[in-house]
């Protein structure tokens, strides 16, 4: 009987720990336009727009509680230091993702991706350009003009989340 209880506890523990692990081993290509080595760091800022996975909990204080909201995310420096926590809700009726102005350079975005949990995605921010990440899932980008099929950055299931410069 003791053996059965111990085996059940181990099985339940292993199952539950498998549900809560992050996809930290998933390595993605850098998303965004190429950075010009000649442009100074203090030049005009660029924009980051992250369509993260939808927030899990309902927000009944939102303008439209029936419309899903994008989950919050973090912007990290290239070496992993926290630079900014982003509340990813514009506060408008459409509840769009929030554009964030950043100095040109390399960053990491720690955000939730639909079906993949919490991911860290390396991004480039270039002067006067917008780097866009699509992690909300369910979109078809086959005919989108900003990129072609050779420069897309994809999750393992083929879902396009952005593009290389």
| Nearest-angstrom CA–CA distance, 67 and 63 | 9
Query: CB-based contacts of 114: which residues, under 8 Å, 6+ apart?
Result: 53, 54, 135, 136, 137, 138
Whole-number pLDDT of residue 37: 59
Mean pLDDT split into 10-residue runs, the chain, 165 residues: 53 46 60 64 81 78 73 94 92 81 95 88 92 76 54 74 65
DSSP β-bridge partners for residue 102: 46
Q: pTM score > 0.85 for this model?
A: no
Structure confidence at residue 91 (pLDDT): 72
The full set of domain ranges for the chain reads 23-163
How far is it, in rounded angstroms, from Cα 112 to Cα 23?
10
């Amino acid at each position: 009987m003791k053996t059965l209880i111990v085996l059940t506890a181990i099985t339940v523990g292993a199952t539950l720990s498998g549900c809560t692990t992050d996809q930290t081993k998933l390595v993605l290509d850098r998303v965004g336009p190429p950075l010009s080595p000649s442009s100074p760091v203090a030049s005009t800022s660029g924009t980051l727009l992250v369509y993260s996975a939808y927030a899990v909990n309902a927000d009944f204080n939102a303008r439209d509680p029936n419309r899903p909201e994008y989950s919050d995310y973090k912007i990290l420096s290239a070496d992993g230091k926290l630079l900014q926590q982003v509340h990813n809700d514009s506060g408008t009726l459409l509840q769009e993702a929030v554009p964030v102005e950043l100095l040109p350079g390399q960053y990491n975005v720690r955000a939730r991706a639909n079906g993949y949990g919490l991911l860290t995605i390396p991004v480039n921010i270039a002067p006067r350009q917008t780097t866009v990440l699509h992690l909300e899932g369910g979109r078809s980008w086959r005919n989108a003009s900003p990129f072609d099929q050779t420069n897309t950055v994809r999750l393992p299931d083929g879902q396009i989340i952005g593009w290389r410069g």
